[in-house]
Structures are given as structure tokens and as C-alpha cells.
A and B are shown apart, each in its own frame.
Chain A
């Protein structure tokens, strides 16, 4: 830029119409204000997520109203509801199909930790299979809490908070493709497969 425009004229321009910024900052600005959520509503939290999208709480106010059910078109995976063992492989598949940059919001106690279902068919937290950026507590969380979670995520995008859980992520099913029969008998395998988040 400095080749063609002298410092003086740049200063003049900035007074009239130009603004200077960094490319990644403006990209982050765009990203955080135009999140396209994929509502992965499996249970009661899914109903509350409808309220968040609905007329009273209206997530559109935060730029995230374009709900997309296709993972190819979404960049925010909202996991709203209990993830069972049967559902886990599908959740991972959906996550893998999303394009970068992508974020995950875990809504409610069940998605975050299994909630009060310490039970034989419930995954004890979706972070055992996908990397989660924001956890929203509650059973179900109030819509206000979900909005707060979305805003927390927006702040993360703005500050470009490092996301080590995301960087090191590998699908729990791929790395263990050879040892799958063992995983069926042990109940603690997924722990070691992901980033060691115990219950």
C-alpha cells in the first residue's frame, strides 16, 4: 500500500471514508455476527432451543437466526439434549461433515455430562466424542442462559481464544478402528480416546 499511496494521503483518506483493520479481525467480526446454527436437538433441551429461536427470545437478535439442518451449511453445532451411546457415532459423523471454522455449543446437563442419567445407554457428556467450546448448564437451561452461551462464543471468536481441545481432536472411532471389539466391553475406553476428560 505504501508504494502507491503516500503517508499523507492515507491520513487524509482515513478522515473521510477508509478504516484500517486486520484481515483476521474483520473475518472474526463477520463470523461471530453471522453464526449459522445446526440445532442438534435430541430431547427436552431441543424443545427449549425452539424457544430460543422462537418469537420471544429470538436468537436472530444475535445474528444466528439462519438455522441449517445440513452440516455443510452450518458453523455452529448446538447439541441440545441427551446423547445416547447409539447416537454418538452419528453426532461425530455430523461434526466431521461441518466445514471449518466450526464451533460446538453443548446445551444442558445431559449434553455436557450425561446429566442425571448415569445410565447404561447414555453417553456421559458429548465432549467424549466431539470437542466442545461452550457448555451451558441447566436442565434445561433457560433461554437467557443459551443466549449468554452464544455471546460467550462470540467473544471467543472475537478474541481468537486458543482452542486446544479442538486442535488436537481426532474422531474416537477412526483411531480405534482396529480395536473396536475391546471398546464394547470396557466402559472407560472413550475417556482415553479423547482428551482425558473424566466424569
Chain B
């Protein structure tokens, strides 16, 4: 890997001169390029077009109030050909602006709006630099360090219908030839928290615009004000349809930053939890997808299986939905007797269930008519928008982090990665249902070979001692106190760590200043990148197809708005 970076470095110095950029590799192995803000757009374009970094995964800000140039703007790039990652960082002062990256990647659109909203970083040339998460009466930029975490500002009205600016049209001016229509946020097809505004010519969509932020619960600010282990319950509530995956993604980032290796048993348990979560997440996606098209039965039928997984989770930790099962260093508890056999039994029931559902939906004439060739997204567009996960694979790109950058021993398991061809709505469900089958395969393999040993590391600076030690001997008591008072403290540094969650790449960018809570924790939510393509994808289609598209994107407001 470092060879590639050496090549890249020499290529770039030929193109941009010797000292234009500062290359470095962090202790955890992330490659970072620091650039001045003037050179960033040219550098990004070069990296995309000539160096094989075809995905822009994330753009975010970091605030250092005492620095002369206050903000870091951080771009996370990914090259899918050989799964390489690169982080581009630049510094911007308060009030200064930096050229937008939307000219290079469409994916930068909403990420830059978010950085503008939460930090006040201005991106010049961005066509729609408006607030995105906070409400329209909100004053200030909440993720700046000088904004108090609990300073609420009330909102007393709702924004009227508006659209994105385009070169032809201003977004706030409605066209009298068309019918404006507001859908949501309290609307069954909008899943409670999404709002879509459209302009219709008959039933054909002329313009569409999603409004998000109705569930902006300030996850990132909460993470900055809580100790590392207390952030875990907050991560549950990102994608609450598959809570354990978020726990695991977050803990993995902290562990990597601390250089911790977790025991093999914990790894296997995490794999099992991940795959069970993937199954239940797809259950919601497929089930509600059916409901939005008018097929209620599939939902009720599938929910029986979700209940079964809830029962498994409950046996493991006592909670059904928000499990908070992992800890930094491993798992919170070991699995109870016979749990792995219960999981195996569930796998048998679930495989029958998947077949039933596949017949019920994928073979259903109405379902096919409503979804095939509806709002397709090409592979190229999908990459451009930063799609990941089932939607990217439905568009025909074979990228799955479990294969591309295996973690927790995924390379040992035998499973296939389903890939679609058309990128339409039908393919998305096809991929999801096949992924459920593959997850069952993985769970079966994992459950049959659970390694023995401990379920967590026993480092006294990381994990609380067992209760019998706390009450039984003075050393245990002291260690307990020390850890509670001092807190878990990763070394100063930063990391971007990504896992393949049910919706796609779930990334955590963690900056530590050596204190007991994260200095900055940025989540890269998979459906955020996907949803920003919505206006383009549904343009020119029927209103009913837009509803089907929203359903197939599986937008989970918890991770969309955070």
C-alpha cells in the first residue's frame, strides 16, 4: 500500500511541484495529504481522474477554535479498484470560503451543506449552500466548540415549498404551469420524518426536493460531550433497524485508534450480530417497501422473523431493539448457554421465510410492474453520487467491504455477493433478498465454529474488571475506580474506519485529543449520500414511482439526520 502512496506522491510532485502537499501516514495506517485550500479542487480532480480514487465518501469539518485558521475541511476518498483510501485535509479560517467540490463529485453536495450548516464553513460555487439539518430559524453553528450542547432554539413555523437552484430556475420561485405538492413529514410513505416537495405536470414530476433534518438529534455533539463508552448507546440510535452494526462500527474505530486487538470469540460474536442485523434491516426494507406499494401481507409475515431475532438479542443482553451490546475491547457479556444453537435454529426458520417472501414479492406480477425499470440508476451515476451497499450493487458495481477490506475474519467465510444489472427498484429488492440468504450462510458458518476463550480483552485501562473482582479484592476495586474516574483515553490521533452496514458504508471519523471523550466524531451515514440523488433520480417519472424510490432507498432517519 505504501508503495502506491510513494508512486502517487511522485506523480503529484511532477504535476503540482515538489512541496505543494504534505504526505503522511498516521500510526494506524491512514494515508493523509494536507493541502492549502487553493489547491484542493485541482488536487481532488487529479485524484479522481488519474489516481483511481473514484468515490468521495465524506466531507466534514473539524473545529479548532484556538488555531489561526480555525477549521479543518476533511475529504475522505476511496478507490474501489484496489480499495485504497486517502484523506485530504485543508485549513480554512472563520469567514473564509473554500471552492466547492461539487464540480468534481456530485456526492459533495449535501456533505458540504452539512459542513456549512453545522460549522459555518462557506463553499464558494456551491449552487445551494443552504441549511440542511437544523431548522430555518436556528441561529449559529452548533458543532462549533463554543456552541453549548444543550442550548435549544425553538422553531415556530414550517418552510414553504422550495426547490434547489438550477442554472435555469431559482428554487424558491414556483412555476405557475405546474402543481406544487407537499408530501410528509407526517405521511405513511415518508416513514415519519422525511419531507418531499414536488412540482407536478399532471402526474409527472418536474422538480423534486427532499427536506431532511426532522430527526436531527445532535449525535455528533452528544458524542463530543460524553465519555467513549457512553457514546455506544447513542450509536444504537443511528440506524435503529440494525443497531448492533453501529455499535460495532464505532467500537472498531476506537479499538483501531488504541491499537487494540479483540479476542477471536468477540470477533465471531460480532460477525454473527452483524449478519443477524443485516437480515432484520433488510426485513424492514423489504417489508415497508411492500407496504408502500400496497402489499401489507409481506410486512406482517416478515415481522414474525424480526420478532425472533429480537428474542435472540433479548437473550443475549436483555434489550430488544437498542442493544448496546459491544464495549471497546470486545463484548459486554458472553453469550448464554445454548445461544448459538438458538441462532442456528433461527437460521433454518429464516431460510424458509426468505423463500416464501421471495415468491410472494419478487414473483408477484403487480410488484414486478411497479418496480422493474422504474427510476434506474447507472453504475457510473451511483459511484458519482457516493452510493454504497445494496443500492450500489444493484447498479452492477461489485463492491462490498466485507470482501474488499475484510475485517473480523470475513475472508474466512464462504459467501457470495449478489450484484444487479439494471439498478432499478426491482434489482434493489433482488439484491437485498439474496443478501439475506448469504447472511444466513455466514451466520451458520460462524455459529458452528465459535472460538473459545474470553469475550473481551482484560486490559485494566480499557475494560472494567468483573464484578466478583470489584467486590472481592482491593486491586479490582481500584482498577474499577481508576477507569470510571479517569475514563478510557485513546492516544491523540485520528482514524477513519468503515464497515459494511446494511445500507452501505458506515464510516466513523474519530479525532481524539487524548481526553476521555471524542474531540470529533463524524459519522458517514450510507443513506445520506444516497438520498441526495433523489431529485435527479425521480425527475420525469410518475409520482407513484417516487414513492417506490423512497422506499427502496431504505432511508433511516436516525442515520440520515443523526
**What count of chain A residues pass the 8 Å CB interface test?**
47
Least Cβ distance of A15 to chain B in Å?
A: 46
> For B142, what are the chain A residues with a Cβ–Cβ distance below 8 Å?
120-121
Chain B, interface residues (CB within 8 Å), range: 35 or more
- Asked if B154 contacts A119 (CB within 8 A), the reply is no
> For A124, what are the chain B residues with a Cβ–Cβ distance below 8 Å?
152
> For B214, what are the chain A residues with a Cβ–Cβ distance below 8 Å?
42, 84, 86-87, 90
Taking the complex as formed, is B147 at the interface, i.e. its CB lies under 8 A from any CB of chain A?
A: yes
- Known contacts: A89-B156, A120-B153, A121-B217. The answer to whether A42 contacts B222 by CB under 8 A is no
- Asked if A44 contacts B158 (CB within 8 A), the reply is no
- Asked if B192 contacts A120 (CB within 8 A), the reply is no
- Asked if A82 contacts B215 (CB within 8 A), the reply is yes
- Asked if B321 contacts A90 (CB within 8 A), the reply is no
Mask: chain B, 134-160; 1 = CB below 8 Å from A; 0 = not: 110111001000011111111111100
Docked CA distance A124–B153 (Å): 11
- Asked if B137 contacts A184 (CB within 8 A), the reply is yes
Looking at B152, B185, B320, B558, the one whose CB has the most chain A CB atoms below 10 A away is: B152
Q: Which 5 A-B pairs have the closest CB atoms?
A: A119-B218, A44-B240, A86-B135, A54-B303, A69-B188
- Asked if B186 contacts A40 (CB within 8 A), the reply is yes
Taking the complex as formed, is A187 at the interface, i.e. its CB lies under 8 A from any CB of chain B?
A: yes
> For B216, what are the chain A residues with a Cβ–Cβ distance below 8 Å?
84, 86, 121
B154 is contacted by which of A43, A47, A184 (Cβ under 8 Å)?
A: A184
Docked CA distance A82–B240 (Å): 13
Docked CA distance A189–B217 (Å): 20
Least Cβ distance of B142 to chain A in Å?
A: 5
> For A86, what are the chain B residues with a Cβ–Cβ distance below 8 Å?
134-135, 155, 213-214, 216
Least Cβ distance of B147 to chain A in Å?
A: 7
Docked CA distance A81–B236 (Å): 14
> For A90, what are the chain B residues with a Cβ–Cβ distance below 8 Å?
158, 185-186, 214
B contact residues vs A (CB 8 Å cutoff): 133-135, 137-139, 142, 147-158, 185-188, 191-193, 213-218, 221-222, 233-234, 236-237, 240-241, 284, 300, 303-304, 306-307, 310, 320-322, 557-558
Mask: chain A, 22-44; 1 = CB below 8 Å from B; 0 = not: 00000000000000000011111
Least Cβ distance of B219 to chain A in Å?
A: 9
Residue of A whose beta carbon sits closest to that of B241: A47
Docked CA distance A42–B321 (Å): 15
Least Cβ distance of A50 to chain B in Å?
A: 7
Secondary structure at chain A's binding surface: helix, strand, loop or mixed?
loop
Docked CA distance A124–B233 (Å): 19
> For A180, what are the chain B residues with a Cβ–Cβ distance below 8 Å?
156-157
Taking the complex as formed, is A139 at the interface, i.e. its CB lies under 8 A from any CB of chain B?
A: yes
> For B213, what are the chain A residues with a Cβ–Cβ distance below 8 Å?
84, 86
A contact residues vs B (CB 8 Å cutoff): 40-44, 46-48, 50-51, 54-56, 69, 81-82, 84-90, 93-94, 116-124, 139-140, 142, 172-173, 176, 180, 183-185, 187, 189-190
- Known contacts: A89-B158, A189-B154. The answer to whether A117 contacts B321 by CB under 8 A is no
- Asked if B187 contacts A43 (CB within 8 A), the reply is no
Least Cβ distance of A183 to chain B in Å?
A: 5
- Asked if A85 contacts B135 (CB within 8 A), the reply is yes
Least Cβ distance of A193 to chain B in Å?
A: 9
Docked CA distance A90–B183 (Å): 12
Least Cβ distance of B60 to chain A in Å?
A: 18
- Asked if A117 contacts B222 (CB within 8 A), the reply is yes
- Asked if A187 contacts B151 (CB within 8 A), the reply is yes
> For B153, what are the chain A residues with a Cβ–Cβ distance below 8 Å?
85, 120, 184-185, 187
